[in-house]
Structure 1
Amino acid sequence: MRGFFQLLDHQPIAFILLALTLGTLIGRFSFKGVSLGSTAGSLLVGVVISMTAEGVYGITYAIPGILSSFMLLLFMYALGLKVGPQFFSGLRKGGLAFIGVGVIVWVLNWVICYFGAKWVGLAPGYATGLISGSYTITAILGVGQNALATGAYTPPAGMTIEEVGANMAAAYAISYVLSSVGIILLIRYLPRIFGRNAKADAAQAEKEYSGGASHPVPGAPGALVMGFSPYDLRAFCVTHQQLIGRSLAQLARDYPQVPILRVVRDHKVMELSDDLTLAPNDIVTVRANVHELILEEGELIGPESDEALARQVPLEVADVHVGSHAVSGKTFKELASHGTGGVEVQAHFRAGNELPLGHDSVVLFGDVLRLTGPGSAIAAAAKKLGGRAILPTMKSEVLYLALAMLVGYLVGIISITVSGIPFALGTSAGCILAGVGVSYFRSRNPEFGGPVHEGARSFLQDFGLNAFVAVLSANVGPKVISALGGDTMLWLALIGILGALVPPFIAFWAGFKFFGLNSVIADGAATGGRNSTPGLNAIIEESGSSVAAIPYPVSYALTTVLALIGGYLSMILS
């Protein structure tokens, strides 16, 4: 067994993969409808392994923090890509409420940790460590150490700066582990505690924040899905004399709403051209509205055919950005008679908002049309519209991912120091806002930063966060061991849990009851106010929707700054 734990020490990748494997298995186990989930499971398994290595075999795990930081940034960016189009509408709908929920979390956390430590007589440094650990913001330890280093706080007689620093670290380690697991479970089940169905409320929130749109905006998950269409492919045998001997160009002019997509002659697919003429018993494939046109074509063309070659015409769905001023101002009816037959307009977007469809709907420069139809017909329509067909893909745009994350990271590290307190947006908030920005602009033009395969985006989101907590668990386990023992540990555990869980519980109640927020939205604001990214992932898993991430960046960014100020003050006032 010692050799096994030594192996995990020398091969940290093996540790991460083991924690992910066992954590995911444990996270799937459910007792009376309650489960940890993969994130909390991975954190718990990692802490147990690292504590066992330290306590039993004296092996201290230390995995470079750059790995966990990068995984977290991938998660935040991928999450931003999903919620971006709804983010700004969320600000307009509930920005003040999101801020109110965040402030409630911060105030209650500071009061519980500071006065709790003072009430039970804990030594200087413990209060600041409790705030840092229960909030899971390591930077609070930094501002506390800064207060010591600059002389803003002087330890009492008989106590050294090093001892105060050790107190902070011990309180941080104990409260961090307990609050990390506890907040995941609390946030996951808050709607259920208040008698709400998270999935139903999330669906309602998505509808509200989409402005009533029935189709995902360009670039959003599920955008390029065929869905239901009244348009269908049918194959008919040409028997009527008025069609025999006529060219495809002539038929396209006479029947623009029923384009011929394929001609099969003697069991062979003919190459389509304007001068191709129909012969008796040719099989033609057409696509049009079943109710309006196709049901009448048996009388006009001939009997329906089950010829496999004629019916196997693959249909695709694509978003096209209107980039031609020549078509701007035309209606769908006018465009259909100008060489764009064979495609159906599934959705019409302008400035990221879905518009009602109709024959007289006007297309303007910069609009986005979601088209369905055969690939060749979509390509022809896209060329006519002055854009490029964005089709579903298995690939993802790495260039935009790297560039956007770089910009978000650099913005996040910009720091301004006021009275010894560093203020920064934070790299996590910077990357989620970068993802929000890319997806927001893509909703206006699908050619921007895309396409991104939803499976790849979802993998980055899930794997990134779970790998982050696995690395974190390896590094925090040994600190828990060093803090164990005596009544002090029990007080640290109790105050840390109360400081981590009571504030978001009350803030959720205020958001849900007082501000009138949807339960899932209130949950997202509360977990943002608590700065808990794993908590956010928990409510996303519970609700089956990412809509909880809409308020998260607002309360997250605000309380990050407030928590740093509060941590500094807790040290000064100790």
Structure 2
Amino acid sequence: MKRLAKAGERLKPKLCPPLLVILCFISLGANAASSEVATVSGPIAYLFNYLSENPFVFLFVALAIGYPLGSVTIKGVGLGSTAGTLVVGIAISLSSYVLYDISITAPGLVSDIFLMMFMYAIGMKVGPQFFSGLARGGIDFIVIGLIVVCANFAIVFFGAKLLDLAPGYAAGIISGSYTVTAVMGVAQSAVSSGAYHIPEGLTADTIGANMAAGYAVSYVLSTVFIILFIKYLPAMFGIDPVKAGKEAEADFGGGEGTEALPGTAGFSSPGTLPVEIRSYKVEHEELVGKSIRELFALYPNAAVLKVVRGDDVFDASTNPTIQMGDVIGVRGRYANLIAKGEDKVGTEVDEIRARDIEIEVADIHVGKTEYAGKTIEELGKEIGFGLYCKAIFRQGQAIPHLPQTIVEVGDVVRLAGPKWCVDEAAKKLGGKPIVESTVTETFYLAVSLVIGFVVGHFSVTMGGIPFALGTSAGCMLTGIMFSFLRTRNPAFGGPMAEGARSFLQDIGLSLFIAVLAANVGPKILNSFQGTVVIKIAILGLLGALVPPLLAWLYGLYVRKMNPMILAGACAGGRNSTPAMKGAQDACGSSIPAVGYPVPYALTSMLVLIFGYLAMVMS
């Protein structure tokens, strides 16, 4: 024990606390197992037995330790919460079985329910941008996504055949190399539903263990190397990423700030805005006789929000006509008002009534296709009276809100201005101003799971092979449809709050993974026999890195795309947000996010289909 304690002290500076807990947990169990009585009694044996009899405790213990473990990073690279949960769950279940011959099994129903909840949340996220990207303008991004996902399937599936890997490995490697854990869920459903006929000598648990082994090795390698690959891809081709980023920003014009995500704390706070309200006395004849709307058409970068005429105060919503001597409250960029206010209007005066305007900040989902494809600058001239665009979000991710940024259906636009201006813009955009979510998601979740479950059970036999969508993919498709409808019709409840959607996605996937770890942990050792680990590593890296390289070559040499927007598209095609952030770090700009959403939305669905096919065709 003294030796073990000294070893622990030597390891302590290098290992995170959660990992020390796991190692000590296993070490104590091994030490206890070496004694004559520990195999049948003792605190560690009791603990394992308790987890076996109460699997729900095991599930949340795996989450409680796996989440902090996944958040630990080494030079910016970490496991992530999902992989952390998987590692912890397998470590506990494997230790329990090896040391005490105690099996921890979690109910499959729990896995099914939470996987379907996760898939519904994914569908709600990608739905609006998926249809918008397919409808217009994103053909290059769509092609990039198709190149990445199809090449990944071809490399992994046929590579697994060539290397003679057992059933389950291909689906697991696709899941890990794509860092999309849900692929294992749809592959597992192909086994449990009977779409894949289990050969003699194999069991569903063995195939599940093969999936977990293929996933675990390829996931870790892919997570690390795809970030480095995308980050340094431009430099490998002799491209200066900073220069390319600035060129892309110049094409879009302007800049952006950091904003809270929709539905999160502080998203409706005005913060510090680059615009303000100043009051001027009308002394220029060319303003007299014009209505406020007419003046905005002439000067779209400034809006008159209040008119003070003696004892009377007129709000801009009534569209009053300007008279000589009026005091007007003008809202615009601070620098412009200082430089041009007195030249265009008259003497600046201290009139508090002209500046007494309450500002509201609200998120609005774009629901009308007539505004899709227009830039923020164009929308500002049409519907931006009295408003300032603070941010724009696509699929829950902030993108550059620049003058030439194109707005798509399903985008969230954050506007700051008088309440009536915000309401008017929301009506024109086909959305409604969101300050906080008042919609219950239970109804939509329940209906979606029912429809997705029923649709997923339908199967079609082709070439003697039954093909079914699967309940998990069915739930994702219903989520996509519900999201599509809700962002276009406020009568359906409006868009799903990002906080609620993120929780469903996070808890759904994590509990599915915890159940998987419990059930396959004892069998995973059999999947690491011989040279199989080397085969998984090679195939996983090829599946992770070659497809985005092919997409990069297409975008750079065939389509002549900006390298940093292309890097973002390649990261989206690979479903790797950390890789996209790596590209942003390389160029010192958020511009790679422009290319990310469409490939991400497309491949999020296709990789699940390919994972299902990889299992059925094994």
Q: 1:128 aligns with which of 164, 167, 171?
A: 167
TM-score normalised per structure 2: 0.60
Provide the secondary structure at the position in 2 that maps to 1:165. coil
Matched, 1:165 2:202: yes
* Matched residue, 2:155: 108
Q: Deviations over 1:96-155 (max 9, x none)?
A: 5544444433333334333433xxxxxxxx72243354444224546989646xxxx7xx
Matched, 1:35 2:71: no
Q: Deviations over 1:32-91 (max 9, x none)?
A: 443222221121111111112222231323233224423432442343257436642586
Provide the secondary structure at the position in 1 that maps to 2:278. strand
8 Å contact 2:115–2:509 — kept in the other structure? no
Q: One-letter code of the match for 2:520? A: V
- Change over 3 Å in CA distance of 1:221–1:86 after alignment to 2: farther
Q: One-letter code of the match for 1:566? A: M
8 Å contact 2:454–2:471 — kept in the other structure? yes
Matched, 1:177 2:177: no
Provide the secondary structure at the position in 2 that maps to 1:47. helix
- Change over 3 Å in CA distance of 1:92–1:496 after alignment to 2: same
8 Å contact 1:412–1:430 — kept in the other structure? yes
- Change over 3 Å in CA distance of 1:440–1:379 after alignment to 2: closer
Provide the secondary structure at the position in 2 that maps to 1:138. helix
Bigger radius of gyration: 1
Q: One-letter code of the match for 1:196? A: Y
8 Å contact 1:78–1:458 — kept in the other structure? no
Matched, 1:507 2:547: yes
8 Å contact 2:222–2:540 — kept in the other structure? no
8 Å contact 1:86–1:550 — kept in the other structure? no
Q: One-letter code of the match for 2:508? A: G
Q: 1:138 aligns with which of 188, 193, 198?
A: 188
- Give, in whole Å, the separation in 2 of the partners of 1:381 and 1:133: 47
* Matched residue, 1:65: 111
Q: Deviations over 1:207-262 (max 9, x none)?
A: 99xx969999xxx96698779977532357x9x999xxxxxxx9977997565549
Matched, 1:464 2:511: no
Matched-pair identity in %: 23
8 Å contact 1:442–1:449 — kept in the other structure? yes
- Change over 3 Å in CA distance of 1:67–1:380 after alignment to 2: closer
8 Å contact 1:72–1:465 — kept in the other structure? yes
* Matched residue, 2:68: 25
Unmatched segments (≥5 aa) in structure 2 = 1-43, 175-183, 235-239, 297-302, 321-325, 369-376, 393-399, 405-410, 585-592
8 Å contact 1:46–1:470 — kept in the other structure? yes
How many residue pairs were aligned?
491
Q: CA deviation at 1:19?
A: 2.0
- Change over 3 Å in CA distance of 1:42–1:75 after alignment to 2: farther
Q: 1:559 aligns with which of 610, 613, 616?
A: 610
Q: One-letter code of the match for 1:84? A: F
- Give, in whole Å, the separation in 2 of the partners of 1:273 and 1:387: 20
TM-score normalised per structure 1: 0.64
8 Å contact 2:279–2:328 — kept in the other structure? yes
Matched, 1:314 2:359: yes
8 Å contact 1:191–1:519 — kept in the other structure? no
- Give, in whole Å, the separation in 2 of the partners of 1:509 and 1:27: 28
Provide the secondary structure at the position in 1 that maps to 2:461. strand
8 Å contact 1:175–1:497 — kept in the other structure? no
- Give, in whole Å, the separation in 1 of the partners of 2:466 and 2:421: 57
8 Å contact 2:118–2:509 — kept in the other structure? yes
- Give, in whole Å, the separation in 2 of the partners of 1:368 and 1:80: 13
Provide the secondary structure at the position in 2 that maps to 1:196. helix
| Counterpart mapping for 1:190-205 below 5 A | 190-193=226-229, 196=232
Q: One-letter code of the match for 1:48? A: A
- Give, in whole Å, the separation in 2 of the partners of 1:472 and 1:270: 65
Matched, 1:79 2:118: no
- Give, in whole Å, the separation in 2 of the partners of 1:82 and 1:185: 32
Provide the secondary structure at the position in 2 that maps to 1:343. coil
- Change over 3 Å in CA distance of 1:320–1:78 after alignment to 2: closer
Q: Deviations over 1:151-205 (max 9, x none)?
A: xx7xxxxxxx3xx124x7435414523423532541453251365379x99xx99
Provide the secondary structure at the position in 1 that maps to 2:433. coil
Question: Which sits farther off after the overlay, 81-90 or 425-434?
Answer: 81-90
8 Å contact 1:140–1:563 — kept in the other structure? no
8 Å contact 2:304–2:330 — kept in the other structure? yes
- Give, in whole Å, the separation in 2 of the partners of 1:265 and 1:10: 80
- Change over 3 Å in CA distance of 1:177–1:85 after alignment to 2: same
* Matched residue, 2:434: 391
Q: 1:489 aligns with which of 526, 529, 533?
A: 529
Unmatched segments (≥5 aa) in structure 1 = 118-125, 154-160, 243-249, 277-281, 324-331, 359-366, 528-535, 568-574
- Give, in whole Å, the separation in 2 of the partners of 1:386 and 1:525: 29
Q: Deviations over 1:493-525 (max 9, x none)?
A: 444444444333333333333565934544554
Question: Which sits farther off after the overlay, 493-502 or 222-231?
Answer: 222-231
- Give, in whole Å, the separation in 1 of the partners of 2:283 and 2:141: 65
* Matched residue, 2:25: none
* Matched residue, 2:51: 8
* Matched residue, 2:466: 422
Q: 1:51 aligns with which of 94, 98, 107?
A: 94
- C-alpha root-mean-square deviation of aligned residues, in Å? 5.8
Provide the secondary structure at the position in 2 that maps to 1:62. coil
- Give, in whole Å, the separation in 2 of the partners of 1:336 and 1:115: 60
8 Å contact 2:97–2:103 — kept in the other structure? yes
- Give, in whole Å, the separation in 2 of the partners of 1:369 and 1:171: 46
* Matched residue, 1:533: none
8 Å contact 1:231–1:288 — kept in the other structure? yes
- Give, in whole Å, the separation in 2 of the partners of 1:419 and 1:459: 41
8 Å contact 1:415–1:424 — kept in the other structure? yes
Q: One-letter code of the match for 2:359? A: P
* Matched residue, 1:453: 497
Q: CA deviation at 1:22?
A: 1.9
Q: CA deviation at 1:31?
A: 2.6
8 Å contact 1:43–1:181 — kept in the other structure? no
- Give, in whole Å, the separation in 2 of the partners of 1:392 and 1:231: 21
